[in-house]
Amino acid sequence: MRDAYQEQMSALNTVLGQMVEEVGRAMEMSTRSLLEADLELAERVISDHDAIAEQSVEAEDLAFKLMALQAPVAGDLRSIVSGFQLVSEIDRMGALALHVAKVARRRHPAKVLPEEVAGYFEEMGRLAVELAHNAHRVLESQDYHDALSLMDDDDAMDDLHRHLFTVMMDREWEHGVSAAVDVTLLGRYYERYADHAVLIARRVVFQATGKTPEQLLEAS
Amino acid sequence: MRDAYQEQMSALNTVLGQMVEEVGRAMEMSTRSLLEADLELAERVISDHDAIAEQSVEAEDLAFKLMALQAPVAGDLRSIVSGFQLVSEIDRMGALALHVAKVARRRHPAKVLPEEVAGYFEEMGRLAVELAHNAHRVLESQDYHDALSLMDDDDAMDDLHRHLFTVMMDREWEHGVSAAVDVTLLGRYYERYADHAVLIARRVVFQATGKTPEQLLEAS
């Protein structure tokens, strides 16, 4: 019974790892479609999105099968519940990448971003993809030290996000309200994407140690 | 064993119902603090937020206890997993109400909203509170007909959200970029709040019928 559990749990983590890698790729393409007004790339993110939704269903089915194994022990149950929560986080990251692609498509052939903020989004995109990649890595390794350090990578995103508002507010913004609205929403999408990657790391810490990051800190 | 399950499941649903009612109250106060630049009210939402976080922990503990009951049957497990997912939805609604209060506080003593969009937020606030209230009702009743009709109430919020952008983009917006950024983010917070209420309704449909709303529709 233990063997069946280990085997299926590892299958679940593999699917989750693939999913987070895919939402990372989606955000990479979305960012490029945004920066280069590349309609084809935006369309590809939009049409690929269904595949992510299908993987979610597959992952939830795997988690339900794990639960149905005769009497998994308490710690196992917590890991399985984490599995469901991880599916939600990754789904949400996929939806946010999709939102970015849709903004790029809506404004095509125009570029969405005024030149003076394009660099911010290039960097936010790079960070987002890196966070997804690292989330994949800690999901596979279940290394809670790595997961804890991933949680700090979010700070760089928050800094960029704050600076973006400074650019819009404090300097002479000459690009009108429409561009400001787009930049505001896009900034929010990247920031939330990073938040979800951090939540994945939190759940890995919990799966690996049975403690929240705060509880670990208290104990050390 | 069945009795213990029923009793604890009903305790969990009661806590979830209280939580969603509280995030409804929070959004009601946030909206008033926003419309009336009422700092005291904004502060209250911000300090009350910890209580909602504590209830989340309590609800998750109840759900874990339910799981630990000897061999709950497959349908029960699905309901318990729904319970965890409901906690996440409600948490998120609380966080969004908190965001609104923080914007009101940040701009105090100035009003955040230009007069011409205040009416939109009054209505979005009213809808948000109504959605939370209805989510509470269907959580208690587990009536899937009611839950399905709640899912349409979201359309009114989406319409308001779209109109809001029209006001900022199409007319002569004389309130500058800073106000446009605030209005954009606030609009997004209300829209997401409504989305989460709809997701609660979806989960109630699933708890009550074992089917998603789409599967129910196909079968009818």
Tens of pLDDT, residues B138-158: 999 989 999 998 888 789 999
Given a cut of 80, is residue B74 above it in pLDDT? no
Residue of A nearest to B87 (CA): A85
- Contact call for residues B90 and B23 (beta carbons, < 8 A): yes
Percent with pLDDT over 70 in chain A: 97
Measured between beta carbons, the chain A residues lying within 8 angstroms of B81 are 63-64, 67, 81, 84
Both ends of chain B: CA-CA distance in Å?
A: 35
Residue numbers in A near B74 (CB within 8 A):
64, 68
**What is the SS3 assignment for B125-193?**
HHHHHHHHHHHHHHHHHCCHHHHHHHHHHHHHHHHHHHHHHHHHHCCCCCCHHHHHHHHHHHHHHHHHH
Residue B105 has pLDDT above 70, yes or no: yes
**Quick check: B215 pLDDT over 90?**
no
Instruction: Say whether A85 and B81 touch across the interface (CB within 8 A).
Output: no
Going by C-alpha positions, the residue among A85, A117, A137 that lies closest to residue B86 is: A85
Please give the pLDDT value at position A207. Answer: 84
Distance from CA of B105 to the nearest CA of A (A): 18
The verdict on B78 touching A (C-beta cutoff 8 Å) is yes
Query: Which of A2, A25, A205 is CA-nearest to residue A133?
Result: A25
pLDDT for residue A122: 98
- Are the Cβ atoms of B74 and A68 closer than 8 angstroms? yes
Q: Which chain B residues are within 8 Å of A88, Cβ to Cβ?
A: 85, 88
Residue pair B102/B46 in contact (Cβ under 8 Å)? The answer is yes
Q: Looking at the complex, does the CB of residue A6 fall below 8 Å from at least one CB of chain B?
A: no
Cα(A46)–Cα(A166) distance, integer angstroms? 31
| pLDDT for res A32 | 98
CA distance to partner chain A, nearest, from residue B70 (Å): 7
* Top-confidence residue, B17 or B77: B17
For all residues of chain B together, what is the average pLDDT?
92
Q: Which residues of B touch A188 (CB under 8 A)?
A: 185, 188
Q: Which domains does chain A have, with CATH numbers?
A: 2-219 (1.20.58.220)
C-alpha distances (whole Å) from B204 to each of A14, A183, B1, B4, B208 are 30, 36, 24, 21, 6
The residue type at A94: G
Q: Which residue of B has its CA nearest to A174?
A: B177
Q: What three-state secondary structure class fits B115?
A: helix
Nearest Cα of chain B lies from the Cα of A196 at a distance, in angstroms, of 12
Q: How far apart are the first and last CA of chain A?
A: 35
C-beta separation of B154 from B194 below 8 A: yes
User: With contacts defined as CB-CB under 8 Å, which chain B residues touch A63?
Assistant: 81
Q: Which of the four pLDDT bands, split at 50, 70 and 90, describes residue A186?
A: very high
Q: Which residues 130-169 of A are in CB contact (within 8 Å) with B?
A: 165, 168-169
Q: What does the pLDDT read at residue B76?
A: 82
* Length of chain B as a residue count: 220
Q: Are B68 and A74 within 8 A, CB to CB? A: yes
Nearest to B168 among A68, A168, A181 (CB): A181
Count of beta carbons in the 10 Å neighbourhood of residue B164: 22
What is the per-residue pLDDT across B180-199, written as a single tens digit (0 to 9) for each? Answer: 999 999 999 999 999 999 99
A71: confidence class by pLDDT, cuts 50, 70, 90: low
Mean residue pLDDT of chain A comes to 92
Run of H or E residues at A201: helix A176-209
User: How is chain A split among helix, strand and coil, in percent rounded to 5?
Assistant: 90, 0, 10
3-state secondary structure A17-53: HHHHHHHHHHHHHHHHHHHHCCHHHHHHHHHHHHHHH
Q: What torsion do the CA atoms of B85, B88, B94, B96 make, to the nearest 10 degrees?
A: -110
Identify whether the C-beta of residue B94 lies closer than 8 Å to the C-beta of residue B26.
Answer: yes
Q: Is B7 on the interface with A (CB under 8 A)?
A: no
